[in-house]
């Protein structure tokens, strides 16, 4: 016998809008404590069902994934990403994923480790000149963007004439306001200030991608050349895929690295243990497949940082047909939200969930689906190995050269499309003895 999903209606008309907007990150946790692992949280005209149980998450992302499309939570992203891999659906998504995925397979990804090593070297050299505490948000973005420029386009960052971090950051902010009431009901064709600004920013990215496409060396090994060499990809599709890779790939990794460095600068004992680990084993690009075992604590600290601060903090889906999750009836058209930020803090699966403790990742997890920084099922992040290699390479370089400290007591968060630090983080460095 199917149950109804418990409903937490809140106030009349506005329902939970005000408390939710005031505390986007933690408000659903308060309701979960009252209603359990599945509940509906009406937010005026949008009434998503939150699913916290590993069985429910597995059902949506894996077992019955065919019944779920990305849904309305991704509509605003479609404005800028079009039919790129992240927002595409159905057969068109399947064909793109099949064409692009081999690019991120193990033996191919090895070509990128050299790029990651080179740019990490540059970062360490620049940081060696620092004498005062400095902000790390921008350097993290420059690092991941420099790596992305070479791996995705085969060009050096200095050959890109526009300020991509600034544009992507503004698009990120505009996109999130588009998902909120009442803007989510204004079609994109209506020239509001937001829409015109988004079009302008998109046109800058498009022009840049067009000029890169024209000058791209098709024999060179990079994502753009691969797409240009695939006859089934139209010009528009190539544009959408490239923008998707920029938006999905560079800022998420920069933020994950920002949070990891801040956490390690705060937790100097753990930082010291990782330093011993990395000094004992210099980075060998040819054995990158073994890095997880060569540097267990470094790897675990990245995993733990993404548990506390998952850059992709919310995953949304829409039910194509009626379904049942954890015995509850899910009507066709329901919006499902997997609140990664809070799933990573679920007290049934995480002891002392607010504490930074990388050692929890040194043994197998109690429940695999309680940890999903890269999502899960067929739509799992295609760049997850790329991102992990990038972070291990950069952090190995940084930690084997410097010890890090910070005065920052509390990392404040801005839950935009990606989970972003609200203010910059300052660290001070000492060359290791």
The footprint of ligand HEM (CB under 6 A) covers 85-86, 97, 244-245, 248-249, 252-253, 256, 311-312, 315, 373-375, 379, 381-383, 386-387
Cβ proximity to ligand HEM, 53 vs 403, nearer residue: 53
Taking the complex as a whole, how short is the minimal distance between the CB of residue 252 and ligand HEM, in angstroms? 4
Taking the complex as a whole, how short is the minimal distance between the CB of residue 303 and ligand HEM, in angstroms? 11
- Cβ-count burial 246-255 (b if 16+ within 10 Å, e if not): bbbbbbbbbb
CA 7 to chain centre: 30
Q: How many residues does the chain have?
A: 433
Taking the complex as a whole, how short is the minimal distance between the CB of residue 300 and ligand HEM, in angstroms? 15
Cβ proximity to ligand HEM, 17 vs 262, nearer residue: 262
Taking the complex as a whole, how short is the minimal distance between the CB of residue 91 and ligand HEM, in angstroms? 13
Per-residue DSSP letters for 114-132? HHHHHHHHHHHHHHHT--S
Cβ proximity to ligand HEM, 43 vs 57, nearer residue: 57
Q: Is 98 exposed, middle or buried (0-12, 13-18, 19+ CB in 10 A)?
A: exposed
Residue nearest to ligand HEM (CB): 383
Cβ proximity to ligand HEM, 233 vs 374, nearer residue: 374
Cβ proximity to ligand HEM, 35 vs 49, nearer residue: 49
Alpha carbons 32 and 38: distance in angstroms, whole number: 7
Taking the complex as a whole, how short is the minimal distance between the CB of residue 192 and ligand HEM, in angstroms? 26
Spatial CA neighbour of 250 closest among 377, 375, 164, 173? 164
Spatial CA neighbour of 37 closest among 14, 5, 59, 67? 5
Partner residues linked to 337 by β-bridges = 50, 316
Residue 344, classed as helix, strand or coil, is coil
Q: What is the DSSP letter of 146?
A: H
Taking the complex as a whole, how short is the minimal distance between the CB of residue 428 and ligand HEM, in angstroms? 25
Cβ proximity to ligand HEM, 10 vs 139, nearer residue: 139
């Amino acid at each position: 016998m199917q149950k109804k999903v418990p409903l937490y209606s809140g106030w009349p008309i506005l329902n939970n809008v005000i408390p939710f907007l005031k505390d986007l990150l933690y408000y659903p946790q308060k309701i979960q404590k009252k209603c359990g692992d599945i509940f509906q949280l009406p937010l005026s005209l949008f009434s998503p069902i939150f699913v916290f149980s590993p069985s429910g998450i597995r059902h949506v992302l894996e077992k019955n994934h065919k019944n779920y499309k990305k849904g309305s939570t991704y509509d605003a992203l479609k404005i800028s990403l079009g039919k790129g891999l992240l927002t595409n659906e159905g057969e068109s998504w399947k064909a793109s994923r099949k064409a692009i995925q081999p690019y991120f397979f193990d033996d191919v990804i090895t070509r990128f480790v050299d790029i990651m090593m080179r740019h990490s070297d540059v970062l360490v050299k620049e940081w060696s000149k620092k004498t005062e505490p400095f902000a790390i948000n921008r350097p993290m973005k420059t690092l991941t963007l420099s790596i992305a420029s070479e791996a995705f386009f085969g060009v050096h960052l200095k050959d890109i004439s526009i300020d991509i971090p600034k544009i992507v950051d503004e698009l990120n902010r505009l996109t999130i306001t588009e998902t909120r009431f009442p803007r989510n009901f204004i079609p994109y064709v209506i020239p509001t200030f937001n829409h015109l600004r988004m079009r302008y920013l998109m046109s800058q990215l498009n022009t840049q991608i067009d000029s890169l496409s024209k000058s791209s060396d098709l024999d060179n090994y990079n994502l753009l050349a691969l797409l240009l060499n695939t006859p089934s990809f139209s010009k528009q599709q190539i544009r959408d895929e490239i923008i998707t890779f920029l938006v999905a790939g560079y800022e998420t990794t920069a933020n994950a690295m920002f949070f990891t460095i801040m956490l390690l600068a705060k937790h100097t004992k753990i930082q010291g243990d990782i330093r011993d680990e990395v000094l004992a084993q210099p980075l060998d690009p040819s054995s990158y497949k073994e890095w997880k075992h060569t540097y267990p604590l470094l790897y675990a600290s990245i995993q733990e940082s993404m548990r506390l601060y998952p850059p992709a903090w919310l995953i949304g889906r829409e039910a194509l047909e009626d379904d049942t999750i954890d015995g509850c009836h899910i009507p066709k058209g329901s919006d499902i939200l997997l609140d990664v930020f809070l799933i990573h803090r679920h007290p049934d699966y995480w002891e002392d969930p607010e504490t930074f403790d990388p050692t929890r990742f040194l043994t197998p997890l109690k429940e695999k689906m309680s940890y999903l920084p890269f999502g899960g099922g067929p739509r799992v992040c295609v760049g997850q190995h790329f991102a992990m290699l990038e972070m291990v390479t950069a952090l190995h370089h940084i930690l084997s050269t410097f010890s890090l400290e910070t005065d920052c007591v509390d990392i404040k968060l801005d839950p935009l499309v990606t989970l972003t630090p609200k203010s910059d983080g300052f660290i001070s460095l000492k060359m290791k003895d």
